[in-house]
């Protein structure tokens, strides 16, 4: 027997009555409820906490199909409509909502092509020294203290600084960004006062930054950051309006921030609660091997990925999914966290197996909206986890797992805090 293997968990029970969704218990551990849904109601109509009715898709084959189905639109203008139409209704581009996750082809194809250059594995690799520098500086900040909250002191600031660098937000403004983002994450993304205020501040700031960079480019000084690239593209007739450039900057920030916080946070939590596998990973890092780390991060994405549900989709026409009829205008939510634990696709899906090879997880989505930031997210998570395990080898959880609180958002899954101790 493999001495490093974790004991196999009992299979998630699919027995008993229909589970209650969206409670605090559910936020702490949604996997038993998802096992029940996969078994008894794989395409399930439910009322969300907001009162909106939507379908939840929980089996892997249905999830994968839905993510790539052109009849499911990303355009919120289809919500509640009985007939299909394309294009965001009303004045397009009136605010920051005209972004990749809210539009369909051909606009989606055009806008995605413009930013895809910035996210090729090659371009992202040039970013590696900066990710190392940010990570090492953050660890320096608490390494002498013997204890830390790894969400607030580590997982949270790392992606914010990385995205600010990518966009070209000057160093002296990055702490403002950190504060605005902190407000958003604390309030869970709902339309509450603090969130609305920080969104407004970010919007104002981004508009001004785009103006400033446009002026710099005009006087021949422009940088090679992403916002400057977007302005160049729009100035060279690539059909990008200034508003679309601002919406793009905003969605990169939104899509790339809390997700990465949670990949690092959930990933560390999984490592700290599976000591034998963590020890084996640490040994491979000490030998200077990188392949096991990359495989481990993919498994952390599958096992407890940061995106619980893919973002909204709307049926543009009546359709059948997993044997269930769905009416035009109905919202469809693909539950990535449930699909990635589907025993019809993954061998022993409730087992964390950092060496898992056959792992086509949906943690970054699938189809034309597949996460454009995946190479950056992988770089950040791989370096963050390896740097922590190398520098603080006796890192240990400083709370019982049932004392930890999970944020009960609808789309994201992540810890509020992750207290740890280590020798200095």
- Which CB atom, from 73 or from 260, has the smaller least distance to ligand HEM? 260
**Within positions 173 to 232, which residues make up the interface with ligand HEM, using CB under 6 A?**
none
DSSP 170-195: -GGGHHHHHHHHHHHHHTTTSS-HHH
163 in contact with ligand HEM (CB under 6 A):
yes
Angle CA(129)–CA(134)–CA(137) in degrees, nearest 5? 120
CB 375, min distance to ligand HEM, A: 9
Which residue stretch of 50-58, 120-128, 305-313, 413-421 sits at the interface with ligand HEM (rule: CB under 6 A)? 305-313
Which residue stretch of 14-22, 197-205, 212-220, 250-258 sits at the interface with ligand HEM (rule: CB under 6 A)? 250-258
CB 221, min distance to ligand HEM, A: 25
369 in contact with ligand HEM (CB under 6 A):
yes
145 neighbors 151 (Cβ within 8 angstroms): no
- Which CB atom, from 36 or from 151, has the smaller least distance to ligand HEM? 151
- Which CB atom, from 263 or from 339, has the smaller least distance to ligand HEM? 263
255 in contact with ligand HEM (CB under 6 A):
yes
363 in contact with ligand HEM (CB under 6 A):
yes
Which residue stretch of 78-86, 226-234, 325-333, 373-381 sits at the interface with ligand HEM (rule: CB under 6 A)? 373-381
In the list 46, 86, 311, 421, the residue contacting ligand HEM (rule: CB under 6 A) is: 311
376 in contact with ligand HEM (CB under 6 A):
yes
In the list 21, 183, 371, 404, the residue contacting ligand HEM (rule: CB under 6 A) is: 371
**Within positions 35 to 74, which residues make up the interface with ligand HEM, using CB under 6 A?**
67
55 neighbors 28 (Cβ within 8 angstroms): no
Residue ranges in contact with ligand HEM by CB under 6 A: 67, 100-101, 112, 163, 251-252, 255-256, 259-260, 263, 305-307, 310-311, 363-365, 369, 371-373, 376-377
């Amino acid at each position: 027997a493999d001495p490093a293997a974790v004991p196999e968990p009992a299979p998630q029970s699919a027995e008993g009555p229909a589970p209650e969704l969206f409670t605090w218990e559910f936020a702490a551990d949604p996997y038993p409820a998802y096992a029940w849904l996969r078994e008894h109601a794989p395409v399930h109509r439910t009322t969300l906490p907001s009162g909106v009715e939507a379908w939840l898709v929980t089996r892997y084959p249905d999830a994968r199909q839905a993510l790539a189905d052109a009849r499911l639109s990303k355009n919120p203008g289809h919500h509640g409509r009985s007939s299909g139409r394309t294009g965001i209704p009303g004045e397009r581009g009136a605010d920051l909502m005209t972004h990749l996750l809210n539009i369909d082809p051909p606009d989606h194809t055009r806008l995605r092509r413009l930013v895809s250059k910035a996210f090729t594995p090659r371009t992202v690799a040039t970013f590696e020294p900066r990710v190392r520098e940010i990570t090492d500086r953050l660890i320096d900040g608490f390494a002498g203290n013997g204890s830390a909250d790894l969400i607030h002191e580590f997982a949270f600031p790392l992606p914010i600084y990385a995205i600010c660098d990518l966009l070209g937000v000057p160093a002296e403004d990055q702490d403002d960004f950190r504060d605005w983002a902190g407000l958003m994450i604390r309030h869970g993304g709902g339309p509450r006062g603090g969130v609305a205020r920080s969104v407004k501040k970010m919007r104002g700031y981004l508009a001004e930054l785009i103006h400033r960079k446009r002026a710099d480019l005009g006087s021949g000084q422009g940088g090679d950051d992403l916002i400057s690239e977007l302005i160049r593209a729009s100035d060279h007739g690539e059909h990008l309006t200034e508003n679309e450039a601002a919406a793009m900057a905003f969605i990169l920030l939104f899509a790339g921030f809390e997700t990465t916080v949670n990949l690092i946070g959930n990933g560390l939590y999984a490592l700290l609660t599976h000591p034998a596998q963590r020890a084996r990973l640490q040994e491979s890092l000490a030998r200077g091997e990188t392949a096991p780390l990359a495989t481990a991060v993919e498994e952390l994405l599958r096992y407890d990925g940061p995106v619980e549900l893919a973002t909204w989709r709307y049926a543009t026409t009546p359709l059948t999914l997993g044997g269930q009829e769905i009416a035009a205008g109905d919202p469809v939510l693909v539950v990535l966290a449930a699909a990635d634990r589907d025993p019809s696709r993954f061998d022993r899906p409730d087992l964390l197996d950092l060496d898992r090879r056959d792992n086509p997880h949906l943690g970054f989505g699938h189809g034309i909206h597949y996460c454009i930031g995946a190479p950056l997210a992988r770089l950040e998570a791989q370096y963050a986890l390896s740097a922590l395990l190398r520098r603080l080898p006796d890192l240990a959880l400083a709370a019982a797992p049932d004392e930890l609180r999970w944020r009960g958002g609808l789309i994201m899954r992540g810890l509020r805090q992750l207290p740890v101790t280590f020798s200095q």
